Chain A
């Protein structure tokens, strides 16, 4: 029943941009499916093993921008063995063989080789944007290929990757004709940089808006670069160290004060506190500030800086800021929307200076807060209840007590009531991550109230299968569930096997699930890949009663993957 010609439909669909909306559009009827798929340019694949590259290319011939995610989230915390998978090469090879005019590629937690980067660099003449987040497997040689061959390169954004730095001259590989750079982020490179090549590159990039340097870039180079880039909006400093009376520092102060467009500041991978005042002139314009790598700054330095940052919307900081510093944030940053407080001394013996007091202050001063990641020494139910009342707009709430099973610091009770208050008050909550002493009760609350919850991270929590059941039965929109070291077992796993096809993935490690149950699940649900990883075992003990160390299951249209290593067994 379609009264509009395809061109009109296509035009209307142009306004439908989110992946989910476009997916919904494609389900309406065959002709909408057809028009949608031919006009789709941006595709998001949340699990690279859920579908084959060939099928994606076949369905979306107009593909220009592809986002892929590889390893499960807990790989970030060393819970997934090395060599598990997440290789991008089959994708790049398939794309290169096809006639797709790829322009943008964004990869997260994937293994990328230099060969793949090279293939990418000369297969797509319009390639513009490469974003790699938490990836590994490549070296600066691969970057050299990208630099040399991507004539229209606009974005090269490397975030927290493990890159083997060959300390070569890869920056020199940008040809003199390359003047299209808008965004360059090399902060994660560990080695030295050819500073001259960097300066020349920046000098011939009039559209450069975002520049994030690595530790090898000293203060004086930064000053010379900033002279050339008055239009910069997003700056990541490299090393911010010098004598306070040096000429370089003096020049830098002067140059920085002219950079009135900078709204986002990060870096300070090495920093002398006495150099920090150079950035004070920028503070009143900043909407985003990331000092989470600036270990050299004390709470007092941070407080002095933040007092100027009245427009801040996003703040990433280390816990050295302390509760007092968070009070300063609460007083100053009335527009704050996203806060991340990272631990500065994860395995040091001293207690963290951040507790529930800081969080409560933030909740009072920053009612617009919707995204939180908070590492703290302790938490209380009373504090969480207050926070829930003050900030009902949370979309992402991630709390981590440094002792994973720490109870309420005042009452010694579990933190069930506190997190219960959060899910009850924050009706739009999509992501939740909990820690502290937690019983099955918190899961009851989550199942009852967290209607929009899509991702839940559980560690050292719960008492019985009931906990997991509350979540699986109650959270209709849950897509990713990851559980470690919790007493959930076969009964919970097998209660509703169909549920897992409505989810992207389930991770369970160090729980009570046995091999036999996983086999049963795999048998009942052929469109799920159920992967088992056992520690220290290459040959799998065939005893069904044995508990599995790690289970990762995900829906997939491609069946068992062919690149799984020996220690991964797909049932």
Chain B
């Protein structure tokens, strides 16, 4: 993802104290898409404060954006309201801890048939299937239709699938959410015709 390209869009880097994305109502509720402009705004708006949090986010592996989970909600100056002193102490310790932890707080690639490039999302941002599916639909501008155990995703061109630990391709939605989270290795949005075998008639 070319963040430099986004930087040229000056409006998006405009410093604001208010909630970013206020103009785009749906963005507020969608916790998936991390617009690069929001990250830039976060970094530049945090700089005016004396906290070191902007360093933390850019810190470990700043060039490789993949190592740093993006903010699920866009960052706002002074929110959540905790003292800088406390914020710095806790984040310092977190960064140390992150290097030691391996709790699967990782990204998964998402591909869509016919799309020119892949995306990456951070699964643990979501609490349930509807949130994830809404995010995917927004990200790729497609619809999945109604899920049913018997028929899979009925009534749409696309269906969300995932590859599990065993390497098998499964339909998203069949297993309990927590099980899905821990076994999902990558996602693929399949075209209807290809997904036929996975869920039933489309």
Contact = CB atoms under 8 A, between A and B. Distances in A.
A160 B105 contact: no
A484 B56 CA distance: 26
Interface string B36-50: 000000000010111
Contacts of A351: 72, 124-125, 127
A77 B79 contact: yes
Contacts of A79: 17, 77-78
Interface stretch (B82-90, B158-166, B192-200): B82-90
Contacts of B28: 405
Specify the main secondary structure of chain A where it touches its partner.
loop
B82 A342 contact: yes
A82 interface: yes
A535 B53 CA distance: 20
A156 B73 CA distance: 41
Contact of B86 (A160, A161, A457, A510): A160
Interface residues of B, number: 42
Nearest to B46: A78
A350 B93 contact: no
Interface in B45-94: 46, 48-51, 53, 56-57, 69-73, 75-87, 89-91, 93-94
A518 B172 CA distance: 56
Contacts of B120: none
B122 A400 contact: no
A402 to B, nearest CB: 6
A78 B49 contact: yes
A375 interface: yes
Contact of B48 (A81, A344, A402): A81
B15 interface: yes
Contacts of A269: 89
A78 B85 contact: no
A76 interface: yes
Interface string A477-515: 000000011000000000000000000000001100000
Interface stretch (A98-106, A289-297, A331-339): A289-297
Contact of B19 (A318, A400, A457, A485): A485
A348 B73 CA distance: 10
Nearest to B76: A404
A295 B90 contact: yes
B85 A485 contact: no
Contact of B81 (A77, A134, A160, A510): A77
Interface string A380-418: 000000000000000000001011110000000000000
Interface string B8-44: 0000000101110000000010000000000000000
A77 B93 contact: no
B17 A402 contact: no
B97 interface: yes
A485 B17 contact: yes
Nearest to B81: A77
A349 interface: yes
Given A76-B83, A78-B50, A269-B89, A402 B73 contact: yes
Contact of B69 (A76, A342, A348): A348
Nearest to B56: A347
B83 A347 contact: no
Contact of A350 (B75, B78, B125): B125
28 contacts: A74-B78, A76-B81, A77-B82, A77-B84, A78-B49, A78-B84, A134-B85, A160-B83, A162-B50, A292-B86, A293-B89, A293-B90, A295-B97, A296-B93, A343-B82, A343-B90, A345-B94, A347-B57, A348-B69, A349-B122, A351-B72, A351-B124, A375-B80, A400-B80, A402-B80, A405-B28, A459-B79, A459-B81
Closest 5 CB pairs of A and B: A78-B49, A77-B78, A295-B93, A349-B69, A160-B85
